[in-house]
A = this chain, B = another copy of it.
Amino acid sequence: MVTIGDVARAAGVSRSTASYALSGRRAISLEVRQRVQEAVRALGYTPNAGARALATSQTMVIGLLAQLLEGEFAPAMLQYMLGVSDAGRELGYDTLLITEADGAHALRRITDSRMVDGLVLLNVAHQDVRLPVLRAAPQPGALVGLPGDCSGVDVFDLDFEEAGRAMVDHLHRLGHREIILISQPELVVQRGGAWVWRLRNAALEQAQRHGMVLHAVFGESRQPAVGRSLNAVLDTYPGATGLLIDNEAAAAALPMVLHLRGLQVPRDMSVIGRYSDEFAQIFSLPYSSIDSAPDRLGRLAVRQLVRRIATESESEEPYVLRLIAPDFVDRESTAPPRGQHRSGQYTGRHE
């Protein structure tokens, strides 16, 4: 392979001069710089990443710890991953993708061996076993997902509580008084998926504040269970006029379920989802939704991570906890509940 020594020889300068000419870290005469650049081009020189990492203690690589857990909606994960990878590249970083089931173990391996300059953890649980490892690591970390303890890391997530309140408020404003919330499978909650219960609890509280009835249930993650459970819920609460769907698989299954029950949206049922706009477009989910903005969250996490890598040794910047405001995408799937629609009155309970 062609090394900086070859470049130096071809340009008739020392290796250090060649290095400085390329990095620009000290003044170099125009003539020498041009000779070096010419040699680089002629020889097709690219610095060896491993050697550079060894010399500078910087790998220019970010570790991305994805977690694909049972009962969760895998396709959503891809969008976070792309946000991280693309943002990293724009900032000069490559992305090491770690998908091992044992995330804590993988994290220790990656950080101990100094393969990366920083880490992004996706799908962070309330008590995430990866966090103690991350805190003990010499590299900084940024999370997508809000854990119980945010110390020592930068945290980014959707404001799921605000999302839950916004969904409830929206239907309340339209006059709905009995609604249903379909969350992720209970397994996800038991495993510590705090985002699920943050939305759920906030929605329940808000409904109570408004004097609404909110039936909060856990959905399923796969067909045919998803469809069955949707039907069961609709059977159980025939008086409900609104549906909040914090569950991608349920959102995808819902159009057919409602259709087979002869229910039209929004005439017979108002629906609000919570998923990414990209997902809505691919499957044309016809429901207004809170955009989960995976791409944006991934990018935010990387940007902060890179900032922290740069300023790591310097003054202790305070850690960031940023919950982004839910963005409501209107797809006209909500309306006043039946009966009220025609009268234009938003006052009574459902008749």
- The docked-state distance in angstroms from the alpha carbon of A222 to that of B78 is 18
Size of the chain A interface, CB-CB below 8 angstroms:
56
A133 located at the interface, meaning its Cβ lies under 8 Å from any Cβ of chain B in the complex: no
A16 located at the interface, meaning its Cβ lies under 8 Å from any Cβ of chain B in the complex: no
Q: How far is the CB of A312 from chain B (nearest CB, A)?
A: 15
A321 located at the interface, meaning its Cβ lies under 8 Å from any Cβ of chain B in the complex: no
Q: Judging by beta carbons under 8 Å apart, are B86 and A78 in contact?
A: no
Residue from B82, B113, B256, B284 in contact with A48 in the complex, judged by beta carbons closer than 8 Å: B113
Q: How far is the CB of A134 from chain B (nearest CB, A)?
A: 16
- The docked-state distance in angstroms from the alpha carbon of A51 to that of B54 is 6
Neighbouring B residues of A54 by C-beta, 8 Å: 48, 50-51, 54
Q: Judging by beta carbons under 8 Å apart, are B284 and A109 in contact?
A: no
Neighbouring B residues of A78 by C-beta, 8 Å: 74-75, 77-78, 81
Neighbouring B residues of A255 by C-beta, 8 Å: 256
Interface string of A233-266 (1 = CB under 8 A from B): 0000000000000000100110110011000000
A289 located at the interface, meaning its Cβ lies under 8 Å from any Cβ of chain B in the complex: no
**Could you list 6 examples of A-B contacts with CB < 8 Å?**
A50-B50, A50-B51, A74-B75, A77-B78, A222-B282, A222-B284
Other A-B pairs, 14, CB within 8 Å; known A49-B114, A249-B282, A255-B256: A1-B138, A48-B114, A50-B50, A50-B54, A74-B75, A75-B75, A81-B97, A86-B100, A94-B110, A95-B96, A222-B281, A224-B284, A226-B284, A252-B252
